[in-house]
């Protein structure tokens, strides 16, 4: 085929710019989002003690605060405890690693409505082994979440220090001296709240958020660019990411002294490919962090280490926002590992004569976007890499230009709330921003028989303990007769 004429090339260039501007100015929020998995780890062990002058004080059934059964509980019996206290320490299997997590403790009373005043003598503290994190905190209004059954609720807060156990302390009894404190469970939740609302991992060497600029967050130094950088809205966390004018390649690089990650490190970033049909150039994204290079094309990703070789893996959805992570260590087996969306790609290392890099960090992109690039001079664990994806995949929508070809299927529609976590151990939360007010809830088993019906006015509710494990259909009917039905798996 003959090459296009100069006038035709100019027309395509103008069309590219117009489409680029349209997608940046008129972007809507209706792009499909993937469901966000929420992972919960329950306490696996406990210790308890009574201190001071505490006649008749005891912890009954302490083992019932352990595990994923959210319906049974340990019970703090206070007796005469003017100068006494009861403590129960719940122990997790894993110590949290360099990251924020959400800690939830299921609590309740025998008959009194929960309130901050009632729990005025209750405090919570985290530990790493036997060492306190010195973060003891009393119950406050931000921490206390009350269920529809007002005698039950949760203490919920974000932790800022690594821990593997949490201690609940009751000093001197509840405000209602005729009642008891119940502890149902403690769990760590790895969900959708870390990167977008607070610090993510500790120990970064380089961090480029690309949220409207190309500066390294740690050093404050900017990348130099061959073209004026452009930024795409609605990327990770609803913020911006680095983009490029369609059909034009841009290279950004760190132009100071040569720099190397060394033999041990981790490189991670979020990216997607546009694949505009009207461009003559092949869409591509290439990241160089010497001695590593990572190249993303329309259907694959290749990670190479100078002098060693490369790993190449197919990418199922290059038009979606995917997380790519590469780790390297000086080892005979698996010196390079490639992860896509938190899962290691099972591909072999191919020996290649990869040319040496020039010692400068570079990002080159054409018909692509990149966001939240982080570099460490240490290897992150599998669990941390997986959590990086599950915690932060809030805006993993399809590329705008790719989505434009399916405009009819992406028309704005009324948002439908979801139920999470799913599978669940019994406690369920209604997602979205909808207000829950006197909603009728009906639960049917897999045979279609109704097994439970109630009304709820809070977004979090408990399925009854009488329900066996299995698949259920939950139907919510609002006061204005809107009906939403969900399938949920109960696994206690």
DSSP string, 302-351: EEEETTTEEEEEE-S-TTB-EEEEEEE-S-SS-SEEEEETTEE---PPBP
Going by C-alpha positions, the residue among 340, 343, 342, 486 that lies closest to residue 423 is 486
CB-based contact 53:81 (threshold 8 Å):
yes
**In terms of domains, do 339 and 470 share one?**
no
Task: Dump pLDDT digits (tens) for 254-280.
Answer: 877 788 898 999 999 999 998 776 788
Report if residue 213 sits inside a domain: yes
CATH of the domain at 242: 2.60.120.200
CATH of the domain at 484: 2.60.40.10
CATH of the domain at 71: 2.60.120.260
**In terms of domains, do 247 and 361 share one?**
yes
CB-based contact 430:421 (threshold 8 Å):
no
Total count of domains within the chain: 3
* pLDDT for res 396: 42
Is residue 301's pLDDT more than 90?
yes
Q: Answer with the one of 353, 375, 407 that is the final residue of a domain.
A: 407
Report if residue 413 sits inside a domain: no
Is residue 332's pLDDT more than 70?
yes
Which two three-digit tokens encode residue 356? 């040496």
**In terms of domains, do 269 and 378 share one?**
yes
**In terms of domains, do 380 and 430 share one?**
no
Strand residues in 163-216 grouped as ranges (E):
165-171, 181-190, 206-208
Report if residue 72 sits inside a domain: yes
Residue 247 binned pLDDT confidence (cut-offs 50, 70, 90): confident
β-bridge partners, 179: none
Domain span at 264:
6-29+201-407
**In terms of domains, do 177 and 229 share one?**
no
> Dihedral of CA 420/424/425/428: which sign?
positive
Burial of 100 (0-12, 13-18, 19+ CB in 10 A): buried
**In terms of domains, do 393 and 475 share one?**
no
CA distance 397 to 240: 13
**In terms of domains, do 121 and 269 share one?**
no
Residue with the two structure tokens 């405009």: 407
Report if residue 196 sits inside a domain: no
**In terms of domains, do 206 and 154 share one?**
no
CA distance 357 to 359: 6
Q: Answer with the one of 190, 215, 244 that is the final residue of a domain.
A: 190
Strand residues in 129-237 grouped as ranges (E):
131-132, 137-138, 144-146, 152-159, 165-171, 181-190, 206-208, 224-225, 230-232
Report if residue 272 sits inside a domain: yes
**In terms of domains, do 213 and 184 share one?**
no
Residue 416 binned pLDDT confidence (cut-offs 50, 70, 90): very low
Residue 233 binned pLDDT confidence (cut-offs 50, 70, 90): confident
Report if residue 412 sits inside a domain: no
Task: Dump pLDDT digits (tens) for 59-90.
Answer: 999 999 999 898 999 999 987 656 788 999 99
Q: Determine the average pLDDT of the residues in 94-111.
A: 80
Going by C-alpha positions, the residue among 420, 443, 415, 442 that lies closest to residue 431 is 420
**In terms of domains, do 461 and 325 share one?**
no
Residue 212 binned pLDDT confidence (cut-offs 50, 70, 90): confident
Angle among Cα 52, 54, 55 to the nearest 5 degrees reads 145
**In terms of domains, do 359 and 434 share one?**
no
Going by C-alpha positions, the residue among 24, 392, 404 that lies closest to residue 229 is 24
Report if residue 414 sits inside a domain: no
CA distance 313 to 343: 12
DSSP single-letter state for residue 237:
G
Residue with the two structure tokens 């990418």: 315
Task: Dump pLDDT digits (tens) for 159-196.
Answer: 767 899 999 999 876 666 578 999 999 998 754 433 44
Report if residue 216 sits inside a domain: yes
Maximum alpha-carbon separation in the chain: 96
Q: Answer with the one of 124, 156, 190 that is the final residue of a domain.
A: 190
Q: Indicate the pTM of the whole model.
A: 0.47
Is residue 383's pLDDT more than 80?
no
Which two three-digit tokens encode residue 424? 């669940």
**Taking the chain, what is the end-to-end CA distance rounded to the nearest angstrom?**
64
**In terms of domains, do 212 and 127 share one?**
no
């Amino acid at each position: 085929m003959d090459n296009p004429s100069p006038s035709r090339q100019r027309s395509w260039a103008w069309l590219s710019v117009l489409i680029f501007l349209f997608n940046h100015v008129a972007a809507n929020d209706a792009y499909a989002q993937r469901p966000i998995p929420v992972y919960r780890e329950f306490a696996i062990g406990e210790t308890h003690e009574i201190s001071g002058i505490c006649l008749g004080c005891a912890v009954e059934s302490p083992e019932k605060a352990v595990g994923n059964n959210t319906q049974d509980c340990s019970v703090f019996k206070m007796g005469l405890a003017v100068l006494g206290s009861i403590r129960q320490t719940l122990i997790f299997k894993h110590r949290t690693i360099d990251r924020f997590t959400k800690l939830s403790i299921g609590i309740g009373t025998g008959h009194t409505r929960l309130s901050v005043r009632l729990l005025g003598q209750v405090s919570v503290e985290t530990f790493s082994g036997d060492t306190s994190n010195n973060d003891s905190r009393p119950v406050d209004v931000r921490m206390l979440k009350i269920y529809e059954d007002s005698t039950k609720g949760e203490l919920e807060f974000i932790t800022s220090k690594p821990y593997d156990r949490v201690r609940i302390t009751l000093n001197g009894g509840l405000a209602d001296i005729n009642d008891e404190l119940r502890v149902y469970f403690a769990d760590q939740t790895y969900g959708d709240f870390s990167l977008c609302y607070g610090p993510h991992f500790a120990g970064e060497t380089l961090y480029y958020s690309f949220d409207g600029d190309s500066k390294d967050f740690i050093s404050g130094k900017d990348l130099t660019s061959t073209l004026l950088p452009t930024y795409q809205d609605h990327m990770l966390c609803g913020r911006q990411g680095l983009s490029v004018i369609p059909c034009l390649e841009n290279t950004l690089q760190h132009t100071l002294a040569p720099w190397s990650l060394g033999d041990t490190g981790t490189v991670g970033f979020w990216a997607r490919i546009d694949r505009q049909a009207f461009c003559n150039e092949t869409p591509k994204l290439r990241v160089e962090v010497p001695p590593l290079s990572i190249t993303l094309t329309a259907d694959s990703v290749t990670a190479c280490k100078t002098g060693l070789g490369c790993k190449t893996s197919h990418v199922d959805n290059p038009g979606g926002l995917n997380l790519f992570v590469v780790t390297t260590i000086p080892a005979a087996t698996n010196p390079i590992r490639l992860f896509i969306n938190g899962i290691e790609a099972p591909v072999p290392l191919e020996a290649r004569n990869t040319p040496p890099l020039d010692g400068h960090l570079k990002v080159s992109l054409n018909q692509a976007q990149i966001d939240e690039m982080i570099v460490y001079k240490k290897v992150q664990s599998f669990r941390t890499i997986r959590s990086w994806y599950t915690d932060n995949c809030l805006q993993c929508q399809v590329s705008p230009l790719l989505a434009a070809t399916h405009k009819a299927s992406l028309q704005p529609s009324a948002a439908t709330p979801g139920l999470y976590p799913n599978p669940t151990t019994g406690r369920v939360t209604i997602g979205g921003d909808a207000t829950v007010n006197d909603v009728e809830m009906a639960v049917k088993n897999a045979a279609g028989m109704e097994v439970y019906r109630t009304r709820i006015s809070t977004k979090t509710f408990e399925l009854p303990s009488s329900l066996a494990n299995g698949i259920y259909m939950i139907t919510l009917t609002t006061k204005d007769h809107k009906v939403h039905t969900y399938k949920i798996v109960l696994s206690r």
